[in-house]
Structure 1
């Protein structure tokens, strides 16, 4: 389905991003991974994904909180591969604290990575997509693009902003064969979620087990974590011709969380 297409998935060395990369690679796309981690571990991940899917898998590292680094990343993809057809903005960071104790430097980092990086990747990818008359932009926004939770001021603000950016870009590109959508997952047991469990326990004064039961899964009617493969399947569909008229949407994959 995606033979000949080039995809960039940010934050794809683990978790949701890696699951989406798997799904796009299985459909034949050349996939550029991007993220943080040990170099040898990342290479092992890249090689395994290539072996599992038979796709051309690359890795390009970049500090996405830097606009200049984002520009270098997009330029390298266009130089090495000649095009960028699918952009999945998945990279993100989290910090949990009451608003009066929220470190300003954490606010700046979260807004830069969760929202600013998506702005910069999109603005740089769009000219080529418009020229070719085809493109897919998928922003992994979280259910927190639709609802709020306590102690996550920067994360919620960034994800609400990301959804607004998605809608604006969708309207601008609607006549150019380019779609822009936001996937809004509920809680997925990824490294990002695992890291925030102790912080949430501390902020709320409860145990980590209570965080999982009474906080993370409290609003997910299914009472289970969303599976990474479910998100990958949705991303692959959004890249298909069958999704050509789906644009500017927020697609919750949240076990019923936002149905309340």
Structure 2
């Protein structure tokens, strides 16, 4: 495959009015707030933009201040019906987590929380550095629980108690691959958190998770050239054989595709999605040859 085609395979579709799913929901108004972690890039950025395009006030948080500013500028360029506010914060710091939720609630009725922020480290279990495991656990599992703990009272305090927590899980929350124990454990745990929130909700306050295969995010695409060099493969061979070998759909998802699942999941059209998981993995985990 030509280099230009290869680059195109790794280039995500932009988040625009044409690519974003828009739905009719009385709660999708600027007075409603959706807090999104990992909002400086990738899936988190796409969710913040998609929720703003649907009329809500999205509050994007991340440690990357410059990336957050870009997300806010992109929302302005889209002329989104809502808007994107930003708050810089470190999800490994409890004080920052409390400040993030307090800031978000100051922009309106905090109804929705999208736990997206993630990280990756690859090592065999016997070589896996525990300090890295602890950091992954803090960012990808402990912080989502803490954020949910602080967000749920705000949802319950709204006039009708309607809201939801959406958690970014993964195919690795269903089955695992070697050398990713920190990621695997966190994603399995997120599904448990999702079900725990549903168990303690009243039907109007819901939770759900989204499990995708490989998505065109900096976290994923940045690893591909190194993997190709390490294994003596082309970039296309890494995509087709290593990453998508078990998938029936031979292309990676775009961040906006994932954002649209969150739009649906947060909306009234998903009122029976409570504690459940949306497995959009191209047939990776549930089929075999």
**Would you say same fold, with TM above 0.5?**
yes
In the alignment, is residue 83 of structure 1 matched against residue 117 of structure 2? no
RMSD of aligned Cα (Å):
1.8
SS state of the match for residue 58, structure 1? strand
Map of 1:142 onto structure 2: 170
CA distance, structure 1, for counterparts of residue 168 and residue 110 of structure 2: 18
Aligned-pair CA distance for 1:194: 2.3
Q: Give the match for residue 241 of structure 1.
A: 268
Identify the residue that residue 128 of structure 1 maps to in structure 2: 154
Q: Hey, what does 2:43 align to over in structure 1? A: 16
Map of 1:222 onto structure 2: 249
What SS does structure 2 have at the residue aligned with 1:97?
A: coil
User: Cα 1:222–1:76, aligned 2, differ >3 Å: closer, same or farther?
Assistant: same
Is the Cα contact below 8 Å between 1:130 and 1:177 reproduced in 2? no
Q: Distance in 2 between matches of 1:227 and 1:218?
A: 18
User: 1:55 Cα shift?
Assistant: 2.0
Distance 2:246 2:96 in 1: 38
Structure richer in helix, relative to its length: 1
Please identify, of 104-113 and 53-62, the stretch whose mean Cα deviation from structure 2 is larger: 53-62
What is the aligned residue count?
A: 256
Alignment gaps of 5+ in structure 1: none
Report Cα offsets for 1:232-259 as digits up to 9, x if no partner. 2211111211111211011111111122
Matches of residues 87-236 of structure 1 in structure 2 within 5 Å? 87-132=113-158, 133-173=161-201, 175=202, 177-197=204-224, 205-207=231-233, 209=235, 210-236=237-263
Q: Secondary structure at the match of 2:98?
A: helix
Report if aligned partners of 2:203, 2:274 keep a CA contact under 8 Å in 1. no
SS state at 1:257 partner: coil
Residues 1:101 and 1:37: Cα distance change in structure 2 (over 3 Å)? same
5+ residue gaps in structure 2?
Answer: 1-24
Aligned partners of 1:206, 1:160: CA distance in 2, in Å?
Answer: 32
Query: Per-residue deviation at 1:66?
Result: 1.8
- Give 2:69's aligned residue: 43
Q: What CA deviation, in whole Å up to 9, does each residue of 1:199-237 have, x standing for no partner?
A: 6568x7554634323221112211110122221221111
